């Protein structure tokens, strides 16, 4: 087994390697003066089981292209099997045609990865789980819940007065899974999106008056949905408000919104390097990914990794 790290989140790759008790492979990833990416694998990987770790987080296009180039380098170096470990799968929100004359970019990315030579994909909490069907190769789709639940229980030790909230109708299934794990009630915030950066939360379905609340979502980028939902919940009588998010791709706007919001703490994973800042608590994802990599390498089942 060989682990190769891209430049998107090397710290996570090092933590995964440490959890497996091995070293990252020696790889050069540099750029030419014109911006083109150059990759050279400085050790023999012929016949090896290669895992390339690269979340396609911002800068998304650069990190995706770098991943494709690393895959091509590994394939031409005669790797036996190439697994793309993509903790955060960029372009996952473009999974359907919701307007005329727009692409389905998630499918395009799946085609690019397959054509480059990827044998299988390992990822966590896809924004749209049906993206697994865009691939004609195996996809191991893990959930961040086992990593997040322990931290949420520390943040909210008394779950007898807890309600888990989905910030939109599409996230109800995920919120229900967290509610069951925490023995909590379930509520939904019905929202109306104005633009890519602005969300107007409309109404709350369920009882949150006088209760502690955890808003659960698969990802946040601008924190517009989270903060609008939190404000709505506060107006409906919620006592203390927390959030649990699988991928916190937080930019400057998001950090400011979270800092100014009524959310007391955001619990997230370190699937992307942007997951940090005030009110942000990070749950390590490396042990989960490391165990999944070990089981894939040994051709064992990963089903038990879904359990809390």
Annotated active-site residue 191? The verdict is yes
Three-state secondary structure of 282-298: EECCHHHHHHHHHHHHC
- Which of 191, 234, 279, 300 is the catalytic position? 191
> Residue 60: CB partners within 8 Å, gap ≥ 6?
90, 91
Q: How many CB atoms lie within 10 A of CB 98?
A: 8
Q: Cβ(216)–Cβ(171) under 8 Å?
A: yes
CA 201, CA 178: separation in Å to the nearest integer? Answer: 22
CA 149, CA 267: separation in Å to the nearest integer? Answer: 9
Q: Cβ(90)–Cβ(109) under 8 Å?
A: yes
Q: Write the burial class of residue 226 (CB in 10 Å: 0-12 exposed, 13-18 middle, 19+ buried).
A: buried
Q: Write the burial class of residue 119 (CB in 10 Å: 0-12 exposed, 13-18 middle, 19+ buried).
A: middle
Catalytic residues: 191
């Amino acid at each position: 087994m060989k682990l190769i790290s891209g430049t998107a989140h090397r710290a996570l790759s090092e933590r995964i390697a440490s959890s497996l008790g091995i070293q990252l492979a020696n790889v050069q990833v540099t750029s030419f003066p014109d911006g083109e990416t150059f990759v050279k694998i400085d050790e023999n990987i012929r016949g090896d089981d290669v895992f390339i770790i690269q979340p396609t987080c911002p800068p998304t296009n650069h990190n995706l292209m770098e991943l494709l180039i690393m895959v091509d380098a590994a394939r031409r170096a005669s790797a036996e099997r190439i697994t793309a470990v993509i903790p955060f799968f960029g372009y996952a929100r473009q999974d359907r045609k919701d307007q005329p004359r727009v692409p389905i970019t998630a499918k395009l990315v799946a085609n690019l990865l397959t054509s480059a030579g990827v044998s299988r994909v390992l990822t966590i909490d896809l924004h749209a789980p049906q993206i697994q069907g865009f691939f004609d190769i195996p996809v191991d789709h893990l959930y961040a819940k086992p990593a997040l639940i322990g931290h949420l229980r520390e943040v909210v030790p008394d779950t007898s007065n807890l309600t888990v909230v989905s910030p939109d109708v599409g996230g109800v299934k995920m919120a229900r899974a967290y509610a069951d794990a925490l023995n909590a009630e379930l509520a939904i915030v019905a929202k109306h999106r104005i633009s890519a950066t602005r969300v107007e939360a409309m109404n709350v379905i369920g009882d949150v008056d006088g209760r502690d609340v955890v808003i659960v979502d698969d990802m946040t980028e601008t924190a517009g949905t989270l903060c609008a939902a939190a404000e709505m919940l506060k107006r409906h009588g919620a006592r203390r408000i927390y959030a649990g998010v699988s991928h916190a791709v937080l930019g400057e706007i998001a950090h400011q919104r979270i800092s100014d919001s009524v959310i007391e703490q955001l619990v997230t994973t370190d699937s992307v390097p942007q997951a940090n800042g005030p009110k942000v608590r990070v749950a390590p994802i490396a042990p989960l990914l490391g165990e999944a990599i070990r089981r894939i390498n040994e051709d064992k089942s990963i089903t038990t990794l879904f359990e809390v």
